[in-house]
Amino acid sequence: MKQFTKISLVTILSFIGVILTVMFRDIIFQAVGPAIGLFENGQPTPVAGTTVLFFWGMLVAMLPLLAVRLKWPARFHFQIRKDVNWKTVSPAIIAVIWAMSPQLWDTIKALPTAGFATIYHNFMDGFQPGFFEELVVRGAVLMAFLFAMKRGKYQALGAALGSSIIFGLFHFINLTGGQPLVDTIQQVVYATGFGLVFVAIYYRTNSLWITMILHGLTDFTGDFQVGTAGEGWLDMVIYILPFTLIALWMLRPSMNDYNLKSFPEVNDPSLK
């Protein structure tokens, strides 16, 4: 019962924390930005606006980790583990690239004729949320689940599922902007799958840099996407299911100790 209560509390606080962090980032920027010339036609300016938003987002992304550290000694992991087995990680990375292949191809076709301002804007517009969300969700929320969960063979998988579901459910916020319900549900499923594969890659490499770059690249190329490839249910099976299955295989209970080898702090007996 104590474990259930602890996990429930972490789930609720994490979900609320993610929403509040995003709101704080956006409200402050939208309040200050126009006054210092960082907005044009209601949007951040292509260069100055997106650049300031990027660095402001990185600062705000530190807040959830600081909140977790009030209870546990959580930290970001960036250095690639020495014993990383790229043969087991590469399929997941390749599957992520496969999932973004339609928009990646559209990006390649668009770049030669796109102006500097467009490329720079899309780069910042993609990598800002990519970096921000990895630091917040994989860097802080995932760690909170790992610390809260009882040590055992389901610890890594349980934390991955918990943090990824929160990441997916957060996208229901897009309903407030008028996005259709079906499209939003697809986005929730899409984001949950991405969350799982990013956690799997993070466990196996111990480096947020890799997931941050992959996430940023996904959002960056998405800004150049033409049409709706990857957005329907059939496309989700073709593009999203492969890396989701690979992620679940990487996260299987028998690999729990290996996946958490670079996270010894989460199983400090004095913290359980």
pLDDT of residue 271: 73
Cβ burial, residue 174 (10 Å; 0-12/13-18/19+): middle
Cβ burial, residue 170 (10 Å; 0-12/13-18/19+): buried
What is the percentage of the chain residues whose pLDDT exceeds 90?
85
**pLDDT, tens digit (0-9, with 9 covering 90-100), for 83-128:** 999 999 999 999 999 999 999 999 999 999 999 999 999 999 999 9
What is the percentage of the chain residues whose pLDDT exceeds 70?
97
Asked if the model's pLDDT at residue 229 lies above 50, the reply is: no
pLDDT of residue 10: 95
Strand partners for 43 = 40
Mean pLDDT of the chain: 93
pLDDT of residue 109: 95
Instruction: Transcribe 109-153 into DSSP letters.
Output: HHGGGS-HHHHHHHHHHHHHHHHHHIIIIIIIIHHHHHHHSPSST
pLDDT of residue 227: 63
Reported confidence tier of residue 1, pLDDT bands at 50, 70, 90: low
What spatial distance separates the first Cα and last Cα of the chain, rounded to whole Å?
15
Asked if the model's pLDDT at residue 228 lies above 90, the reply is: no
Eight-state DSSP code of residue 227? S
Mean pLDDT, rounded, for 19-30: 96
Residue 102 has which token pair?
A: 């339609």
Alpha-carbon span 53 to 129, nearest angstrom = 10
The three-state secondary structure class of 226 is coil
Asked if the model's pLDDT at residue 71 lies above 70, the reply is: yes
Asked if the model's pLDDT at residue 68 lies above 50, the reply is: yes
| Dihedral sign, Cα of residue 221, residue 189, residue 198, residue 133 | positive
Burial 199-211 (b: 16+ CB within 10 A, else e): bbbbbbbbbbbbb
pLDDT of residue 177: 80
The single-letter code of the amino acid at 22 is V
Torsion angle, alpha carbons of 106, 109, 114, 116, to 10: 90
Q: Is 47 left (phi over 0), alpha (psi -120 to 50) or beta?
A: alpha
Alpha-carbon span 145 to 162, nearest angstrom = 7
**pLDDT, tens digit (0-9, with 9 covering 90-100), for 142-200:** 999 999 999 999 999 999 999 999 999 999 988 888 888 988 899 999 999 999 999 99
Reported confidence tier of residue 272, pLDDT bands at 50, 70, 90: low
The single-letter code of the amino acid at 115 is G
Mean pLDDT, rounded, for 226-254: 86
Radius of gyration of the chain (CA): 19
pLDDT of residue 213: 98
